Structures are given as structure tokens and as C-alpha cells.
Structure 1
Amino acid sequence: MGKLILVFREAIDSDLALLREFEQRVIEAERPYNSAIKSEPTTYYDIESLISDRDSQLLLAETDNEIVATGYAQIRSSKASLKHAQHAYLGFMYVSPKHRGQGINSMLIEQLISWCEQRSVQNFYLDVYALNRSAIKAYEKLGFRPSMVEMSLSRE
């Protein structure tokens, strides 16, 4: 197996169909961690806005002309109680199954962080399910640390 050559690029409108497919794969992967996710097809992201919004970067990773990963950074206003006025939220982190374990997600996150830093944003947040130990471990390798735990209660 040769060395993996990745090209990172911003998503464009012609990528929408594939991005919607990847979104469904993210949702399927997260259903075991959250029984409240609808069983019928649903959506997480406003993909069109992520493509067009100047405060967002929806990034794709390609190898051999195949899109193999996606993720976005969105610059948001921070809570008034925090020292920083803005932060970046990272989401839609997806790597195709046959390309996992090669560090693609880490490289993609580094690209997103670099884009944010060019805009003077230095604080980064993402959500990960507490039981998704492999994802937590991967994010910790990049320097992320647990910050806040979301608690839920359903009385259905």
C-alpha cells in the first residue's frame, strides 16, 4: 500500500448529495449512543448554510479523486462570561470506514483549526458522546479535554 495522498478542499454545492449521504452515516453511527434520535431519516446539519456562510468552513478530504472525509468549523459568538469573544465549533466529523485509522480526521481538524486561527479564533469546541471512547481518545490526542457534560432525562 502506497503513501496516502490527501487533498483538502472546501465543499461546493455539487457535493451536496454525497454530503447528505455522509450525514446519514454520522446519524447511524450515533444512534447507539442516543436512543432519542429519530428512527426515520432525519438531519443534523444545514449543509447549504455551512457551504455558503463566510463564518463556516465545510472541508472535504479527497484521495484518488474520492471524497473520504468531512468536517466543519463554524465561528460563533461565545458566552459573555468567557474570556474569549468568539470560538469555533467543530462538527460533521466523518471518515469513510475503509479510510479510518490513518489519521485523516486529525489532519482535517488541523486544517480547520488553521483556518480559524487565520481569523484570530483560538478556542475550539466539539461534541462527542461520552460512551464513544475511541472518538474521545482521538480528540484527546489533538489536545482536546473534557469540559462540560450534558445530562439528559426522558420520562417517556
Structure 2
Amino acid sequence: MDIESVRIHQLGPDDWHRFRRIRLLALAEAPYAFASTLAWAEARTEYDWRDLLAARTQFLATTGDHDLGTVGAVAENTGAHLISMWVAPKARGTGVSDLLVGSVVDWATAAGHSGIHLEVSDGNAAAERLYHRHGFRRTGVAGLISPEDPRLEFEMRLTLPANP
């Protein structure tokens, strides 16, 4: 795959079917990386998916007719929160993940956020290396993924330059 052919699209509520498709792929392929479950996502209605996309900024990486990966971001009191990052196995190691993270950094910078935080699950070394490459560092905050999922996740943060 030629990284020059990859395009990043910002999804809106009318793109709910595209987001649903890639989110289900992500949850089926890498359930260890998310607090959500495939069964929970499959039960969501069209309205649920549209509402989700209205409440966040979601990016989709594509080449031709192929969806390669996705990442989301939400604005919070503490800055931007990078969420729902996933890249298809065939596109890993190609630079697609860097394009997706870069899209969130660009979005957060343009929106005037002071920083971006995220959580990475314990043992997901490839994801942690990706975020580290973009300047994210562990904050020392760790916790359980959810009350139903006792695995640990670690917070990472990137401080963004102040806008003039």
C-alpha cells in the first residue's frame, strides 16, 4: 500500500454506516484494546450511531474503496480526549496510524486545546510506542478499564503549544 494514496476523512452523523462497519471490525479483531464489546456495538441502532458521531470528531483513513483505520476525539474540560483508535492489520506499520493520530493533534490544536489525553491498555506496547512517537507520555495515572474489565490502562498526555 502506498501511504500517499491514503486519505483522512472526518465523519459526520450521515456517515454512521461507515463508522459502524469499521467499529465492528475493530471490536472483532482487537477486543483487548477497547472497553466496549462487539455485542454492545452490534446492538446499537442507527440513531445511536448517528448520535455518537454528532457528539465527537471521528476520522476515517481510506485508500480507494478500502477503510484502513479510525480514531475519535472529544472535547473535555481537561482538553481533548483521543478515543477509539484502530488500524486494520493489513495497514499496520505503513504510517496510517501516524496519519490518524496527526489528524487528532491537528484538530485539537486548531480548536485551541491545551493538550490531548488518552488511555492505553496494559500490554498494548505497539499502541504505546505509536503515541510516544507523537510526544505522548504516561502521566502516572492508571486504573481499571471498567468495573467489568479488571485490566489496567494507563493515561498518556500530549501538551500542545499555546495558540498565539
Structure-2-length-normalised TM-score: 0.71
Mapped pair 1:98 → 2:96 = no
Contact 1:72–1:90 (8 Å) recurs in 2: yes
> Which consecutive residues of structure 2, in runs of 5 or more, have no partner in the other structure?
149-164
Q: Point out the structure with the larger helix share.
A: 2
- Give the length in aligned residue pairs: 142
Cα distance, 1:32 vs. partner? 4.2
CA deviation vs aligned residue, 1:37-74 (integer Å, no higher than 9, x gap): 76x71139964234223xx3111112123221111111
Cα distance, 1:106 vs. partner? 1.2
List structure 1 runs of 4+ shifted beyond 6 angstroms.
Answer: none
Bigger shift: residues 20-29 or 123-132: 20-29
Q: Kindly tell me: are residues 104 and 27 of structure 1, through their superposed partners in 2, closer, same or farther at Cα, counting changes over 3 Å?
A: same
Counterpart of 2:40, as a letter, is T
Bigger shift: residues 135-144 or 2-11: 2-11
Corresponding residue SS for 1:131 = coil
Larger Rg: 1
Partner residue in 2 for 1:128:
120
Partner residue in 2 for 1:57:
57
Mapped pair 1:111 → 2:113 = no
How do 1:22-101 and structure 2 match up within 5 A? 22-32=22-32, 41-43=39-41, 47-53=49-55, 56-78=56-78, 87-101=79-93
Q: Kindly tell me: are residues 99 and 130 of structure 1, through their superposed partners in 2, closer, same or farther at Cα, counting changes over 3 Å?
A: same
Q: Identity over aligned residues, as a percent? A: 21
Q: Kindly tell me: are residues 43 and 58 of structure 1, through their superposed partners in 2, closer, same or farther at Cα, counting changes over 3 Å?
A: same
Corresponding residue SS for 1:149 = strand
Structure-1-length-normalised TM-score: 0.74
Q: CA RMSD in A?
A: 2.9
> Which consecutive residues of structure 1, in runs of 5 or more, have no partner in the other structure?
79-86
Partner residue in 1 for 2:132:
140
Cα distance, 1:96 vs. partner? 1.6
Q: Kindly tell me: are residues 119 and 32 of structure 1, through their superposed partners in 2, closer, same or farther at Cα, counting changes over 3 Å?
A: closer
Contact 2:73–2:104 (8 Å) recurs in 1: yes
Cα distance, 1:33 vs. partner? 6.5
Cα distance, 1:93 vs. partner? 0.9
Mapped pair 1:150 → 2:152 = no
For residues 129 and 112 of structure 1, the distance between their equivalents in structure 2, rounded to whole angstroms, comes to 19
